Amino acid sequence: MSFSLEGFLKKKRTIIIKQWVDQLKTQVSPQYADRPRKELVATVSQAYDANIYVLLRNDYSYIDRFIEKISQMRLKTGFQLSDVQMAFELFRSVSFPLIAAETTVEEFFAAITRINRCLTYTIHRFSNYFQSMHQTKILEHNRQLEEDVRTRTAALKESELKYKTLVEEINDGYFVVREEAVVFANPAFCLMHGYTLPEVIGKKFYTFIDTKSRKKLVAIYEKSFQKRGIPRTFEYLRLTKDGQSYPTEILAKITLYDNKLSSIGICRDITQRVRMEQKIRETERMAYIGQITTSLSHEIRNPLSAVQMNLQILKKSPQLKGNDQRRIDISVREVKRLENILKQLLDFAKPIQLNFNRNSLNRILISSMELLEMKFKEKNIALDIELDPNMPDIQTDEEKLGQAVINLLLNALEASPADAQIKVRSHYRDENGRIAEVVISDQGCGVPEKHLSDIFKPFFTTKAKGTGLGLSNVRRITEAHDGQIEVKNLRDGGAAFKMSLPL
């Protein structure tokens, strides 16, 4: 008898809901563990029934209403986006093993494709509601995923020949491993790893795994043969032919292929998902830092103002002479430095709001350099300037972008020894999208390799009197313009910071 997803979902409703709730209480987060079991049973039951309406009737109205309800509940109680996403994902991890136990390979992939389509819609819909600033991008990605799933679902219902054709055409990598060697791979798998099909077939599968993930996958592969028939979903770093590593997700199952025990798997690039999760975590972290910074600045500024006022009064006293007068001057100067740090902290705590207008990027660069002219003269720093005459005007916030450029120039100035040279370049390129680039390089000592990944993080600094906010603000402003900022050490010494802004 062929497998019926409708019959399965109705028969296994109680089991799936119980396992779903058990995993919510034990595997997601302390916040879920603290929720009353009665509440979790109610919300999971509603989610399960809403999923059934999607899977069996193609009716999304129930899941839409549930998403709105659960979003309000979890936002109100301070849940993180990633925790609620994981809660939705549990439907997949609970139901897949149960489905696998009752299906053939073709029935299994047909069923999980439908469930993946449902969960793809649910999780992205929820993320849109929860993280509205990414709404357009996530909705577009969701529509594309739905179109891909519809294409695969139609093909899976056809004959074995059409099923094989689907495997050749899907965007996800499909592969078969026997005795640790790849015996089948579709074009997407080859493309993901940068190899041709002849280069893939016969190679050990571990060739395509980053060394950081290899031990983990070996253990999973060996355990899979001990628990045949149970599909496993896990994440790892895949390794491409050119030595690059990318986050990847695999759904694998031990089964018979050509009447021989093999591991069949689907791998999917999850680079964008990982980046988005990192960005969301960074946003949440920044919001928390902002709250603390605002509170501390308020508490410190009032006594600091009183100290400064009393120092200024003492400075006027005729009884102060010689070193006493100099000590007062030093104290006043340090108080002003603290006030400047507080101002930077408060600016950092505020969300960036941009006022876009068409501006000349070259003019912004020239204005920024003119503002720092005296500082360059103090260290006898020469400027080597090359501005692209073909640079078009760009949509930007002139004040914020100028602030970012000034921070980069100050960073180069502080890193450069006296009598050195700082290079400022602008470049317009019209390939793979119109891009405006700004490169500022110095002749300092460069950035230690161990610090390259941390240099743009808030409060990270190697300077004795630095706040660690200058380069962090550069990144915030650049990313607010949908651009990118990167740094690399130069072969002859020094570092170069490149800002890329889309036009």
Give the mean model confidence (pLDDT) for residues 363-392. Answer: 88
The CATH code of the domain that includes 249 is: 3.30.450.20
Digit-coded pLDDT (tens) for 223-252: 766 665 555 677 888 888 888 888 888 887
Asked if residue 458 and residue 493 are part of one domain, the reply reads yes
Q: What are the residues whose beta carbons fall under 8 Å from the beta carbon of 421, sequence distance 6 or more?
A: 381, 382, 383, 384, 443
List Cα–Cα distances, 469 to 153, 407, 445, 455, 459, in angstroms.
50, 10, 20, 10, 6
Number of compact structural domains in the chain: 4
Share of the chain above pLDDT 90, in %: 1
Share of the chain above pLDDT 70, in %: 80
In the three-class reduction of DSSP (H, G, I as helix; E, B as strand; rest coil), residue 345 is classed as helix
Token code pair at residue 93: 């991890």
User: Which H or E run contains 252?
Assistant: strand 245-257
Specify the pLDDT at position 44. Answer: 86
- Evaluate whether residue 164 is within a structural domain: no
Q: What are the residues whose beta carbons fall under 8 Å from the beta carbon of 155, sequence distance 6 or more?
A: 162, 163, 165, 166, 169
- Evaluate whether residue 369 is within a structural domain: yes
Asked if residue 107 and residue 199 are part of one domain, the reply reads no
Digit-coded pLDDT (tens) for 264-292: 788 888 888 877 877 777 666 666 666 66
The runs of H, that is alpha helices, within 316-372 are 323-349, 361-371
Asked if residue 263 and residue 211 are part of one domain, the reply reads yes
Structural domain span for residue 370: 354-503
Specify the pLDDT at position 212. Answer: 83
Asked if residue 125 and residue 22 are part of one domain, the reply reads yes
**Integer Cα distance of 249 and 237 in angstroms:** 9
Asked if residue 105 and residue 15 are part of one domain, the reply reads yes
Asked if residue 481 and residue 391 are part of one domain, the reply reads yes
Q: What band does 137 get if pLDDT is binned at 50, 70 and 90? A: very low
The CATH code of the domain that includes 78 is: 1.10.490.10
Q: What band does 174 get if pLDDT is binned at 50, 70 and 90? A: confident
Asked if residue 442 and residue 465 are part of one domain, the reply reads yes
Burial tier of 453 (Cβ tally within 10 Å: 0-12, 13-18, 19+): exposed
Asked if residue 337 and residue 385 are part of one domain, the reply reads no
Digit-coded pLDDT (tens) for 8-40: 888 888 888 888 888 888 888 888 888 888 888
The runs of H, that is alpha helices, within 238-270 are none
Contact of 105 with 264, CB cutoff 8 Å: yes
Look up the pTM and report it.
0.41
Domain edge (last residue) among 99, 133, 158: 158
**Integer Cα distance of 406 and 389 in angstroms:** 21
**Integer Cα distance of 81 and 79 in angstroms:** 7
Asked if residue 20 and residue 154 are part of one domain, the reply reads yes
How far, rounded to the nearest angstrom, does the alpha carbon of residue 284 sit from its chain's CA centroid? 12
Closest CA to 96 of 118, 115, 121: 115
Give the mean model confidence (pLDDT) for residues 385-411. Answer: 88
Question: What single-letter DSSP state applies at residue 392?
Answer: P
Indicate the Cα dihedral angle 321, 322, 325, 326, nearest 10°.
Answer: 180
Asked if residue 479 and residue 419 are part of one domain, the reply reads yes
Q: What band does 294 get if pLDDT is binned at 50, 70 and 90? A: low
**pLDDT higher than 80, residue 484:** yes
Give the mean model confidence (pLDDT) for residues 394-402. Answer: 87
Specify the pLDDT at position 432. Answer: 67
Asked if residue 4 and residue 147 are part of one domain, the reply reads yes
Give the Cβ contact number of residue 244 at 10 Å. 12
